[in-house]
Structure 1
């Protein structure tokens, strides 16, 4: 059975990212949480010292010192009029070199081709801890389309990209990754709610080679996914197409095989690049 890049034969799948308490236990962790605050959903692109302190539940003086150091390094910038901070150009430069650039370079034309053929939004996601993390997106020209997903994480069991990332995992590895998210708040009405239903669903999807999530992550959102693998069978990423259920749900059986072929094409290119 193929392995996933985030698993090892000895230790099983990667565990969830360190929680807030773990990050707060070290100076580096505290700095990391400050930077991550600028990408959290529910926050604007620019934050004042007070807003960051409130968002993180920390003392204002401590946060102020860290923000000044990060600004001095160029990772953050401060607006001299509003005194608010935002991510700096040095962070933008670093972000451009993040992740597997070969994967992104090969996947981008594939995303554009999928958008042209399906007229829906196409995305690339990778496994980050116990979440599906979206790293690339090609938008459709439809007036109603899937939202701005880049940088967003989603529970693995309730989205097509997440189950595509787990498609070749053992039942035990799947259970280790998703057990904490079952019956989580804020999911769609059709999200699987038991481990048995997740395992059964993945087995069915494994047999056909692609995953389908209709009203699972969000009510009114449908997505179809397939895994991108290495030459050794490791799952590197998931490619998926997303759109409104009202438009996309009736086409998933036709889009699925196209997505599998696209994923295989990218996988083959990854193997020889």
Structure 2
């Protein structure tokens, strides 16, 4: 067996690679700084900041670009962080969010005795990351990993409820076209103006509610989960048969909002930190 400390061993040969990785991470760290993230940086400026040779930095950036870790603007020739880093960050954030959300969803199940879901937006669809059901509930087809058209659900409407009006309108055309063919008979959002009015109501009330719009006989409520920036990163949803939840839809909405605000506080949302569950439940 080869000696692991010998010059030809994998352990020794990994040392230069570790140094190269560290140099690459230094470049990514510079590109990630707030003052550089938006506009990017050229090779010369990065080399100057790091005190390294321009040719060395150029080679490293080309390798990072090839792997999707950095990207170069074709006009300005400046580099920014690449798509793969953002994809890694999104998956890491969602994994942490799902882990943190689980006990909050279980508490909501205990209060409402109905199945709850943690949902995120994917294009014009809502994706369920996590579902928690009452212990007595029969679980057939699970919703985890399943996506549905956003405008047909309370979660989808909540997830876009903090968008600027122009962004909402420009996106809504495609959003509604995709949903129109599958719209339920009671679907009342069919135009951009309908959507804008609904979003205004959600902002005022704090949560969204649907009554047989996603599926005949099914009602649901959703409330936004915000991160430390105040941005909506997910929605907590409760869905159940109308005969069971319909008479208590308002109460379910307020309780869902209270739990969503508690989870938001754990994620660092400053406006939610000082608010008790009773205060959140009494809103709106």
Q: Is TM more than 0.5 here?
A: yes
Distance 1:161 1:131 in 2: 10
Map of 2:257 onto structure 1? 260
> Is 1:196 aligned with 2:193?
yes
Larger of the two Rg values belongs to structure: 2
Give the corresponding residue for 1:38.
none
In structure 2, relative to structure 1, the CA distance for the partners of 1:150 and 1:131 (3 Å cut) is same
The residue matched to 2:174 in structure 1 has which SS? coil
Q: 1:136 to 1:249 in 2, by over 3 A?
A: same
Spell out, residue by residue over 1:203-241, the C-alpha distance to the aligned partner (whole angstroms, 9 max, x if none): 112101000011111112211001100111111111111
Give the CA deviation at 1:135.
0.7
Cα pair distance change 1:180/1:126, threshold 3 Å = same
Deviation at 1:267, TM superposition (A): 0.8
Q: Which residue of 2 aligns with 1:248?
A: 245
Distance 1:246 1:172, change over 3 A: farther
Q: Is the Cα–Cα contact under 8 Å of residues 122 and 239 in structure 1 kept in the other structure?
A: yes
Look up the match of 2:215: 218
Shift in CA distance, 194/143, structure 1 to aligned 2, threshold 3 Å: same
Q: Is residue 156–residue 178 contact of structure 1 (8 Å, CA) maintained in 2?
A: no
| TM-score normalized with structure 2 length | 0.58
Aligned match for 2:112, one of 95, 110, 118 = 118
Alignment of structure 1 residues 41-80 onto 2, 5 Å: none
Deviation at 1:103, TM superposition (A): 0.8
Partners of 2:222 and 2:140 lie apart in 1 by 14
1:140 and 2:134 matched: yes
Alignment partner of 1:164: what SS? Answer: helix
Matches of 2:264 and 2:168, distance apart in 1: 22
Distance 1:176 1:145, change over 3 A: farther
- Match of 1:180, SS? helix
In the alignment, structure 2 segments of 5+ residues that lack a partner are 1-37, 39-90, 270-284
| Contact in 2 for aligned 1:159/1:217 (Cα 8 Å) | yes
Paired positions, count: 178
CA distance in 1, matches of 2:142, 2:242: 17
Q: 1:133–1:153: 8 Å Cα contact kept in structure 2?
A: yes
Q: Deviations over 1:11-42 (max 9, x none)?
A: xxxxxxxxxxxxxxxxxxxxxxxxxxxxxxxx
Return the alpha-carbon distance in structure 1 between the equivalents of residues 195 and 167 of structure 2. 12
CA distance in 1 between counterparts of 2:246 and 2:92 reads 34
1:102 aligns with 96
What is the alpha-carbon distance in structure 2 between the residues aligned to residue 179 and residue 250 of structure 1?
Answer: 33
| Partner Cα distance (2:235, 2:199) in 1 | 14
Looking at secondary structure, tell me which structure has more helix per residue: 2
Structure 1 pair 249–142 and aligned structure 2 pair: CA distance change class (3 A): farther
Q: Does residue 1:150 correspond to 2:147, yes or no? A: no
1:116 CA displacement? 0.9
| Aligned mates of 2:103, 2:117 — CA distance in 1 | 12
Q: Equivalent residue for 2:274?
A: none
Deviation at 1:175, TM superposition (A): 2.5
